[in-house]
Structure 1
Amino acid sequence: LGESIITLGTGAFINILTGRVSACTDGIYPLVAYSDLSNPLENVHFLHAYHSSCANILNWARQAGLFNDFSEINQLSTDTKIAHVFFLPAFDGHINDPYCGSGFIGIDGQTTRDDLLRSILESIAFVAYELFVFLKQDFDKYQGEENFRFLRLAGGVSKCDFICQTIANLTKLSIQRCYAFNYASGIGAAFLAAYGCGLIDDYEQFEKIITVEKIFQPVQCDVAEQNFKQWKSIIPRFDMTSCTYLSSGVRELLLSASAVTTSENSESDQLSIDKIRQCLSVGDTGINYLESVRRLDVKILPQIEQMFNRVTIEEFRSTYDNDHYCGWLKNRKDLFRIFNFLKNDEIHLATLLLTCFTERNLGNLLLLQTNTVPNLLRQIVESPNLCSILGSDLTLLFQLLIGSPKSINLRNVYWHGFIQYNEISPKFTYLLLYLMLRIGSILHGKVIPERQFISFDRFINHTFLSTDMCCPNADRAIELIQNSHLIDNGYKRLLMSSIDYFFNRNEYGLSMMILLPVFEHLLRKLFVNANNCPERLLTAEATTLYTTLDEILICCLPDGSPNRLCDELGRGYMSLLGDLITFPDGVCLRSKLSHGEIDYESLPRSIANAQLDLLFALLYRYDKYKLDKYGQYLLDYISDYKVYYHPISIARNQMRQCVTEFKQMLECPTLIDEVETAKPDFSIQLTDFWRVFMPPDNLSLFDNISLATIDALLNEENINLINRYCTCKLTTTGYNESSLIIIIRQLCTHVHQILINIDTFIKTRGQAYHAKQLRSNQRSNFERFINIHDNIRQSLLFIFHLNASILFSLDNIRCIDLKYSSLLMKILRIWLTFVENTVTLSNITRNRWDEIANLCSTSIDKSTKIILKL
């Protein structure tokens, strides 16, 4: 197992023997290698991957005049040197990307013909190495890590020593070039035919036929790996179908970094915060961001990247996993995950996690001097407190990377979905990582306070979508993404990585980190299309508003016209989006995850699943993809979704819970018959009040106070909650609906506690009362409770009916004269005072029932006086 061969012919092919069949990803195919005649039912399999451009690239180069004869190619030195020109050999597309184009990058006035030829030969070796990495990852995943000792090379292009040596240096394996490499495949087919006909007895005879023409041993060389990484970073620039979503100023700032260059002083011990700070261009108006980045790029950024590139994952952990560097970090394990992602070319995920990690830990630092932490990362790095803790030099560098919109603004361009796969250099990520590692030595072992993560426990039992709404498997998800016309190619790779973390690794937090920025980008595309404002698709300059989720989902555009996307998505979709993303009492998944407020490793699958289904619903709807059973079911379910975490929905659900508990209290059998109880006639009547502005058809719900009418009012879904509190919908009359809802929710909270208190009192004292086990004063106290029990019941029933009536009538209330809504607010506050005091007085340790009766009478009198003023 693990025997491998790379064939460099017209195209580049690589095969790794696996024995048994393996599931594959990334365009890798499991194929049958051969069948043993002694056991024809047992097939031997191998993993196969290919790239369509190899020898045809060289033929083009000869026709273009870069060389005259193939013998000239081997005259190039096999020594590896820093590359400044790169070529992408993609005449028929690149790996897994048929839309990728070919071309050179890095040409300047000093570029020679040999530079161009060398870049072409390097690119062929890079493609072969990229295919090998893809195959080996799948092989290791399903077969267990195999110690590859060598690779065999065949095909006409393998005649080039420079290509063979470069592959050896990159794979760090011995490369065996076969004798008669032009005919290796034919020889193998002939041998199998001979074996099948019985001319050869066993496979061991074949080993005698295989002749190695030359062996290329790997040379330890960091430059080869650096060249390959730089080559990989240029691939997205040749995507012929996607465009950048970075506006010109932002793009100039982010892409101003040039290729990695060597430096005589590149050792890590010569790097310092002071040396980096000297590169900043700071004037009276603050940092000149573009000039500062250009200065850093001359030396500092390449030096930091080279420093980290030379370090293995094990060496990084050995160096930095100690209190000197990480003692101040509360989640230091994430630091090593970030470095691991960078080493595995997961730059996007590394940057997303690093910005969360940075915001969390810098925010903790502020607690050394203040009790509050700002909500935004830019506010943290601009805080005078941080400057006094870390010093002005380090703080200025943080402001360059993650400060205002004029800065590199690394956090926002990634988290708001403006960056495509590998679109910008990882140097800024390496710089941020370097700065975080320098903080430990400044703090000198100080104990850093820690903020608790926000828990998602309250959402665990909530079903956003039923289990049969889940996407069936990763293959179905990837098929949806790959066939989507809505998703740019630069984002498809990111989404497929998110699917891998979700289905194959069960890392739901990391999956959502990758998915949410892309999801925001897709909504932004739909937003600009629905509202015909294409200029809002790009990142904003410093003087322009970013088009983020807050703006995408608001009901009105800046000019006051309606946001057509909200109606286009529909009430059900917007409701689920609100519960997951925008409602303050909801999950707020994007906000909490991106600001490091939650432990991403504890994100429940149910929440991640609902967010994933929101993405799939967009793809099914806007791609006009052929609807299967799952797709149709998903769209139907989401269109009927009922909002749960809007403040009005929460108030309504609290009311339902209180009414249920109230009914259970009424069924309590412990009250005795021999005590006569008065039946009060509740004196507050609001029928005339409601008649002022309610339609006659609905007045029957307000005529009498009963549990039946309360249930009817609560079960009416007559209020549109989507964008209800949008700023353009707020009235100028002084009416504040959210204040009404807040008081209703406070009332429900206190009533819930009153019902608990009463239930506890009845259970603890009622049985003892019947058994005549209470002392005289306790017996008198229980009888006072029985005497006012009906008063309390009627008062609570009135509160329920008032709250339910308001929730039912919200659209009508906002349209009436302010004096009527002010009257409702005054009545609510009277009864809020009543329930707040009753919670205390009804506690099992107090039981002040006479005082509660007086409070009830006072509240009724005050409410009646207010109503009479109308």
Structure 2
Amino acid sequence: MENNSKSETLLHPKIDELYKIIKCISQSNNLNYIKQNGTFNWQSIAELLFGNGNITKDDPIYPKTYDEYLPYVQLLQPVFQQSHSVLERLTDNTDWLPKLQWLGQQSRLPYILHEYKNPSSETTVVENVLFLTAALEYALGNVYQTIAKKSPPHLLRDLLDTKELRDVLGTCSIFFLKILMGSAESINLRNIVWHGFPLPHEIPPSFVSILLVVSASLSELIEDLSLVSRPQVKNFSRFLTKIHSPPIGYALVDNYLLVTQTVDNSPWTGEWKIYWKQVYQHYEQSNYWRCVMLILPQIELVLRKIYGEANKFDITAKLNEYYITMNSIFEFSEDNRLLDSYMTKGTLHFLYDIFISPFGMRIRDKVSHGEVDLNCLDGKLCSILLYAGLNLLNKNEFPLDGYQSKFHLNSLVYEAVNASKRFVLELMKMRTPSSFGLEFKWNWEVMETLQELVLTECVEIFHRSKKEPEIMMNLMKIAQLIVQICQNYQISFEERFGMFFRHEPRSRARKTLDKMVETLGVIGEILGSIVCYLIRIINERCFENRFDDCQKFCKQTLTIVENLARYSDRESNEWLKALDCCNKFHKIGSDFNSKFK
């Protein structure tokens, strides 16, 4: 088996050339690039790069290719070197911390500065780069939002191209950031590290110095700005509760011997196993935020290696091509052979829930863009990520065969439809008080049919029709509204019966209550029938061959339940209109049955 992990590097030779420039010792005697307070002299750097002129995005000299970026990287070599020298001489962090506060994650900054001076492992430099690139990107997004009063572009390269940032930070600093981490044709530090390509020795410590100095220098440019920080994710418990459950054996990640053997013996770790061992050390020492930041790129790298082997793709970091990323790996086309023999369906469902689903954690995306408060990264999350990574290294020792997605849209539809079935059945069990004199007239045939109908157990999430999500989203909305309708009626009748026992209803109110009791059976019948249709559509995959007819039914039914939800509200005076909705649905259901016999 061809194994990319045995090669010396996954960096393109031209990218490696740029990194070697950063490592070189500068022969320049010009010390004017760094001011006495340790921040950049942007005027001197602008003169170094552009002479006495300036540069704009539309200027012909604005670099677009590697060959155009290379001379600028060479020009900046003494600036990079001086940045490192300044930080190397730093003896007191106190003066520097205020300059970095705008990055957020304040409780981690002293640790980063300490680790810079006293690295605790071979991966410390990479860990610090991971932290600083994510924090800097998030902080720049805050600057943009403060100025533009709207959310920033999701990608860093697009953010750096905005006029808003250029106006407040200046063209020189933006150009510097693009050279450092804003273009795939240049150093591209953020993407190279966050996508897991480099070995520890390929990232020089001077990159940490540069990130610290540029962050401190940018803080001076926004001193007069009342920075608005966007809210960060502070809790993943809703997701963790659903994922962190039996029968998955998460306790296996606490078996040091098994984990070590898995990492050492896997064909996918190679020289990158040093990261995996440090990840596990962070986990054992409850250093969870560093554990999470370090394992995320490595999980993606192992996935990329498996994907490359399965599909015979080159997985190195290239200059002029998109990387094979987590998202592209999960774009299942007919020629994607990832499922053939390399991974189980359960593994892909598990990884999809953690990393890809728009309804799930999207943990890698959020952490890498600085959108997570690192204080919320806990041991439970780490055990899930460790188990996911170890499953990729050895699916037999860390099995995920039976796992089904809990956060794919189809899974959420299953959950919503099952909930709607449960609530309708509960509604149809409701009884009037014995002294009331009237009873609900439930349709027992519909109730029995609904009780017997069950959704198929297997939730399919790959190789799906492109039109399927549109249908599924409507099914979920219908099911959720049915739950709301049932709750509305239960609350309303509980209150009205309470008033009856307290002898509060006036004669007119009593007549209204009698009419409501008489009509709820009809409404319950329609709600039960709708849920039966939802189950049938899912089980029989009605939309695969008759999409337009199925979508028409869903849209019409959605309108019906939206109106029912409004009329069933306890504050509504239009509850009798619910009967009109029921009559309309009889026609809708009849049309559906005639087309899907």
Q: Output the TM-score relative to the length of structure 1.
A: 0.61
Return the letter of the residue paired with 1:523: L
Displacement of 1:265 in angstroms is: 4.8
**1:781–1:341: structure 2 CA closer, same or farther, 3 Å change rule?**
farther
CA distance in 2, matches of 1:614, 1:402: 29
Residue 652, structure 1, aligned to residue 414, structure 2: yes
CA distance in 1, matches of 2:327, 2:510: 60
Residue 527, structure 1, aligned to residue 307, structure 2: yes
Q: Which stretch of structure 1 is more off in the superposition, 408-417 or 584-593?
A: 584-593
Would you say the 8 A contact 2:453–2:532 is kept in 1? no
**1:712–1:608: structure 2 CA closer, same or farther, 3 Å change rule?**
farther
Residues matched between the structures, number: 568
Residue 487, structure 1, aligned to residue 269, structure 2: yes
2:425 — aligned with what? 663
Map residues 3-14 of structure 1 onto 2, 5 A cutoff. none
1:260 — aligned with what? 25
CA distance in 2, matches of 1:663, 1:717: 20
CA distance in 2, matches of 1:480, 1:567: 19
**1:862–1:722: structure 2 CA closer, same or farther, 3 Å change rule?**
closer
CA distance in 2, matches of 1:679, 1:327: 64
CA distance in 2, matches of 1:863, 1:344: 71
Displacement of 1:266 in angstroms is: 4.2
Map residues 770-849 of structure 1 onto 2, 5 A cutoff. 770-810=501-541, 813-814=543-544, 816=545, 820-846=546-572, 848-849=574-575
Which residue among 436, 440, 454 is the counterpart of 1:713?
454
1:593 — aligned with what? 367
RMSD: 2.7
CA distance in 1, matches of 2:132, 2:73: 20
CA distance in 2, matches of 1:417, 1:432: 19
Residue 449, structure 1, aligned to residue 228, structure 2: yes
CA distance in 1, matches of 2:254, 2:443: 60
Would you say the 8 A contact 1:574–1:722 is kept in 2? no
Residue 477, structure 1, aligned to residue 259, structure 2: yes
Which residue among 89, 95, 105 is the counterpart of 1:310?
89
**1:565–1:509: structure 2 CA closer, same or farther, 3 Å change rule?**
farther
1:722 — aligned with what? 462
Displacement of 1:650 in angstroms is: 0.6
Displacement of 1:418 in angstroms is: 0.7
1:571 — aligned with what? 345
Would you say the 8 A contact 2:105–2:374 is kept in 1? no
Greater RCO, 1 or 2 (C-alpha within 8 Å, sep 6+): 2
Would you say the 8 A contact 2:410–2:459 is kept in 1? no
| 2:21 aligned counterpart, secondary structure | coil
2:142 — aligned with what? 364
| CA shift digits 1:486-510 (9 cap, x unpaired) | 3122x22222221121111x23232
Displacement of 1:652 in angstroms is: 0.4
Greater share of helix: 2
CA distance in 1, matches of 2:242, 2:592: 41
Displacement of 1:659 in angstroms is: 1.8
Would you say the 8 A contact 1:713–1:805 is kept in 2? no
CA distance in 1, matches of 2:168, 2:249: 52
Computing the radius of gyration from Cα coordinates, the structure with the larger value is: 1
Would you say the 8 A contact 1:401–1:428 is kept in 2? no
**1:783–1:616: structure 2 CA closer, same or farther, 3 Å change rule?**
same
**1:493–1:277: structure 2 CA closer, same or farther, 3 Å change rule?**
farther
Return the letter of the residue paired with 2:584: T
Displacement of 1:414 in angstroms is: 0.4
Would you say the 8 A contact 1:351–1:429 is kept in 2? yes
| CA shift digits 1:12-32 (9 cap, x unpaired) | xxxxxxxxxxxxxxxxxxxxx
| 1:280 aligned counterpart, secondary structure | helix
Would you say the 8 A contact 1:576–1:641 is kept in 2? yes
2:471 — aligned with what? 740
Return the letter of the residue paired with 1:776: S
Would you say the 8 A contact 2:315–2:323 is kept in 1? no
**1:705–1:740: structure 2 CA closer, same or farther, 3 Å change rule?**
farther
Displacement of 1:753 in angstroms is: 1.4
CA distance in 2, matches of 1:433, 1:707: 67
Displacement of 1:540 in angstroms is: 1.6
CA distance in 2, matches of 1:562, 1:347: 35
CA distance in 2, matches of 1:868, 1:723: 29
Residue 552, structure 1, aligned to residue 321, structure 2: no
Q: Output the TM-score relative to the length of structure 2.
A: 0.88
Which residue among 318, 330, 340 is the counterpart of 1:540?
318
In the alignment, structure 1 segments of 5+ residues that lack a partner are: 1-239, 622-626, 682-703, 731-735
Identity among equivalent positions (%) equals 22
CA distance in 1, matches of 2:558, 2:564: 10
Greater share of strand: 1
Q: Which stretch of structure 1 is more off in the superposition, 611-620 or 638-647?
A: 611-620
| 2:404 aligned counterpart, secondary structure | coil
**1:705–1:563: structure 2 CA closer, same or farther, 3 Å change rule?**
farther
**1:718–1:350: structure 2 CA closer, same or farther, 3 Å change rule?**
closer
**1:661–1:862: structure 2 CA closer, same or farther, 3 Å change rule?**
closer
Map residues 229-248 of structure 1 onto 2, 5 A cutoff. 242-248=7-13
Residue 410, structure 1, aligned to residue 189, structure 2: yes
CA distance in 1, matches of 2:229, 2:471: 36
**1:862–1:483: structure 2 CA closer, same or farther, 3 Å change rule?**
closer
Would you say the 8 A contact 2:22–2:81 is kept in 1? no
Return the letter of the residue paired with 1:260: I
Displacement of 1:329 in angstroms is: 4.3
